[in-house]
Structure 1
Amino acid sequence: MDTPLTTPLSLTLLLLRSLSLIHGAMDSCYDDNEGVPSRCMPKFENAAFNRMVMASNVCGSPPEDYCMQTGSTRSCHHCRVSDPGLSHNASMLTDFHTDEEPTWWQSQSMFYGVQHPNSVNLTLHLSKAFEITYVRLKFYTSRPESFAIYKRTSEDGPWMPYQYYSASCTKTYGKNAKGYIRPGDDERMAVCTDEFSDISPLTGGNVAFSTLEGRPSAYNFDQSAVLQEWVTATDLLISLDRLNTFGDEFFKDAKVLQSYFYAISDFSVGARCKCNGHGSECVLDEQGALVCDCQHHTVGVDCQKCRPFYQDRPWARATGDSANQCMKCNCSGRADACVFDAEQYRSTASGGRCVDCRDQTDGPHCERCRENHYRRSPQDPCSPCDCNTMGSVSLQCGMEGKCECRPSVTGEKCDTCQPGFHSLSPGGCRLCDCDRRGSVGVCSVLDGGCHCRANVEGQACDRCKPGSFNLQENNPAGCTPCFCFRHSLVCRSSNHHAAVNITSDFLEGIQPIMIILKVLHSIAKSMSVCLSPLASVERFLGNHLLSYGQLLSLTFTAEAQYLLPHSVTVLLEGSGTTLSADLSPQHGPVHQPDTSQLSGVTLASAAPFSSPVTPSTPPAPWVEVCTCPPGFRGQFCEYCAPGFTREVPNGGPLSPCVPCTCHQHGPCHSETGVCVCIDFTTGPTCERCLGGYYGNALIGTPNDCRPCPCPDRTSCAQMTETGEVVCTNCPSGQRGELRSYYMTGRCRIMGTNHSIFP
């Protein structure tokens, strides 16, 4: 490797030094004083030094002679691969040597067919991407008439032209010499130049290719992605395409042909290991591969991407103005990974989108709860809302975890029907259909089952239990037990009665009687009390079965509360029974004389209608119609049916009815049980025949009693043993018997044999 540089190369390096591309020592990636990130680059070096170059052609195999062009004379030598002192392999391209003792690589001579269109290739593998500043070749023989430099940016990528050198650019490479490069994409285009293509000097000629020379954006390199890609290479290829000659090769003289060959004493590549401004050195990794020692939270062989949790802004190459260090994602402490989201970065300037948020969180920064989750403060983990899918308007709850319920649903999680609703389903809850008249409270929220009053049954509590009737909301039991004088448990409300009130103020035609009483109150004083006898009480007397279960209202009016009675006792008497009720209102002290009176009594009752009541007529559903068992009749089973009488004679309508005991010989009285005998029977139960008749009335047929065959229908008797009928009341001086063969009775005068027939 030589140390001197030619003048054109020196000028180029001055340019590159001004662009900070060939600064020698490696940089620190952080400010020494404040630790602020700054651009850093590995040291500038000869990237080809001591690297193996692959040559497609080497002299000495087979051994051969070659001659050096030295102007007027020619000196010839021998090349043999197997002899280290006589070999010129590719390792001598990148080794260390001096100008006084040069080493060089050498190809076979033209004698072996080395000439256009046959090319000789030299390939340099750099192991990783480098930013190439220049490529320098020092030729041991004259420089080629045509050769090209190629590069590729990845080990398996295509070869791209880097630079053409030719005295015949158009003929050899199809390009014009010294083409103009326009800013932009044209700056990645290789150009062809006819410089460095002369046959002289015959030895020691340099060719230096500066990657940025003639590129308009070179002075704005940090902002030119085209040039940043242009200077990047992982491999370089030198294609030696045509030898320079004096034209004497046409004579095919062996010595002449042996004097034309390619020989290069030095192959240098000025470059930096590419770390994109985020690393100050390249090192060997565990697998022995060359990689950047990345800083600024970058990672990759070339520090070409951000570390996994540093994705808050897009990766960028460091510049002289900014280190463009990768920024840590803000995941609120609830995620360990994030990715860069370009759209998010454009809209919020924070591109780190967190993934796999913990604690049921979500959002680009794990800053909120997942859908259908909640938390009370940002420090708390999120919890599932658990809103009931059927009872909630939305599965998302509020900050306190309370769900928004459908109109008929309640509960923290909308999982319970509101009072009055039941059977939670996808549409919410269904309205309870309990009959308010027969139910207590609301229905079961689970199945809609109603809580029936004592005398009510049915799914909706809408019908009276057997033995009751008249379903009413103001009845604590729901239905009124059938009265029916205790003779039937089957009844219904009458539709032939209308509601009426029996009222009276009991003052009609009354003359008051004045008396003076001494009454002691909290303040003792004399009072005048007027006692009036009650009038018009007849309307409250008698049969009031139509008021069964209704209210008897007594109204007292007074000019002052203290004049109301201390106690009121109401007595109802009838049928040997007395019912009483005591009322004890509270009173205050007496302050001044005043008056009070019983102003009215009202008894709810009903009036019968011959036809069913109409909607305009107030009904009287408390009036029952009983279905009577055998032996009873009447709307209330208050009468005994024909053929039946009271079990207790004159026992009243509460007494059971039993069949008449008249032995089928006539009806009985429905209240007393006394029989009305027929068929010539008599007795309380028609148990015997009338006088003048004989027979067994207990048999119960119309012919049980037959006329006695005696004179004047006198009485007779039938002998039990013989069945003979004997007159028991014969006239004086006669006796008689009934002969069975006469079928009639006869009397004989005592002492004679004469018979007397009736």
Structure 2
Amino acid sequence: MWNWCHSATIIKVFSIFVSISIPFCAAVEALNVALLRNVTAKYTCGDFGDEIYYNHTEALWSASERVQKTCSAGDYPASNMVDGSVETYWQSASRSLLYADPLLGDENLDTIIEIDLLQEFLLEKLIITMADSKRPNHISVSKSVNGRDWAAFAYKVSIETECLAYFGVKLSSLPTDGDDYVCSSYGQSMANRNEQVVFDFSHFSEPVWKRGKFLRLQFYEMHLTLGISGNKFQHYTVSELKVFARCTCNDLNNQCVRNNITDRYECICGGNTEGDFCERCLPLHNQQPYEAGQHCEACQCYGHTDLCTYNETVANLGLSLNMAGSYSGGGVCINCLHETSGINCETCEEYYYRPAGVAQNDSHPCLPCDCAVEGIAMNPVSKQIGDCVVNNDSPLPINHLNRLMQPGDCFCKQYVDGRRCDQCLPSYYNLTVENPHGCQECQCYLPGVENGDNICDSQTGECRCKSRVAGFLCDECTHTYYNLQQSNPQGNWCYSRLLDWSLLAVSGDVMFISLSSNTTLLIDSVVMVPQEFITGDGVDVSPSALSECDLSTRSTAKVLSNTCEDYIFSTSLSYYGEGRPCDCNITGSFSATCVQRGGACECKPGVTGRTCDMCTPGFFNYTSNGCQPCNCAGINKSCDIITGKCNCSPTTEGFYCERCIKDFWSWSLVVARLVNVTLKDQ
């Protein structure tokens, strides 16, 4: 049992186990790694045929007391030296036969024993236990990594001066490097039998010197029992050959155990290493390159992989973050999970982001960007289209609207807004993939829209009109209203009023009148109101009623107050002297009845007038089914009441005024605006 000390403990940081140096000692038992290994010997009793011999213990007996024995091939095999039993032993051929074999190559070399340990070990002790024979005068021990090329590294001699005299080496008890040797004397008298010869390397600190896989033991100068005539007593017997060693386990923790399946010794690795000999770092501990005798350092992968590798370039550039929060080492995380990526799995994959407040070591830190494809632009950092702000703890960017972006915000086109880039900016509409700016600008006619803002429906582009204003772009007045213009001092609204008139002539049922307005008008209808309805002459009515129900400023089509309704009813009754018949037109109305106040009949679609006797402006073909819409494309929606042909502006033509005349362009079915083209001589 040998003691060895090292430094290691384990702490847990972000679910990753990290080694920190704290001293502790552990006991490591050197194992007999020669047990049951393949061993050969030159030569074994019986290799040259049956051989007669005597035991060494009988050398001092009388001839009559001695028991002659015979050995055949296989009686005392070399494997007996490593079978773990002291009861069995290997026996060499007699000395005369050994000297007669030229393969040994040295007249003083008696025996060569070789053993294959199957793997490299750190040698601690080599113990040779003799059986019924004396030890050799000299022993040399060589080692090899391939079983072919040998290097002597340890010697035993009977007296110290024989190191130099016999082997040509200096007396040495401690190697200085991996190629050095040791030579020492037995330090004890030769025993007749059962002597142990010990090579002790346990106090040597040079690990390279102690490494060995193949061992060769060479015995020199066998003791001549009974002199030249004692050949039958002259042979070696070895009961046990033990090689105590520790596994070559990275020089950290050199404990190992034997695998009963592979019959090899496997290291119990320490220092975050693995492998048969702890010759590499654990998969997640490659922040620094592997170095024997050094703990492997864990990579910082935030728990999103169990594999990293060392990259020297990354280390030189200082790109890898270690567990202590410093850019030291070259660990590169491999196969990052949970939609993460980067050298340390520190960021999200393309098209994913980490929400604010979510830690990098969260089990699932990344969510999909979910950007709307119609409105996205290129991420200036990743150069990807459809990517979003990742939140890799770098400063957050400013977007195209000069607003600080948040994790998950998408990068929008010029006229697009919203976290997903799925909304048009105010005053823009019609978000499409094809539009490089995302949305079109609203074309509202500002005098006709609420608050004077160019804001329209984000899908259709239809503008939000003021009261009394109509049209897709709020660029026309509703029916019975006029005067929509920028310069109107009264809120740019449309107005309706009764115009003053004078009677010019009467011809039968036809009256010719003159209007007091000098403005060119398109007249929907002319309503002639008796004077009494304006002044209240002949009717007992309060002044407030006259003011509230002034027909020159109020529309009788709106909901009227009770006072106003009573005034109109009384005035009408006074004017006519009696109730008036409904006279609903049977072609244009649904029934012959009308409302009591005002006498309005219930008209069919597209029909107007109190009695439902005409088409509404913008309709034609007065029939029992009502009137059809003109469907004129231009601003003027009126058409011929019989044929339905639209009344076109001077620059349009077609049945519905649906196209420009020659030399004019820029027709729009929405706004019906035409731009004159001046053709110049070329």
Bigger Rg over Cα: 1
| TM bucket, shorter chain | 0.3 to 0.5
**TM-score under structure 2 normalisation?**
0.45
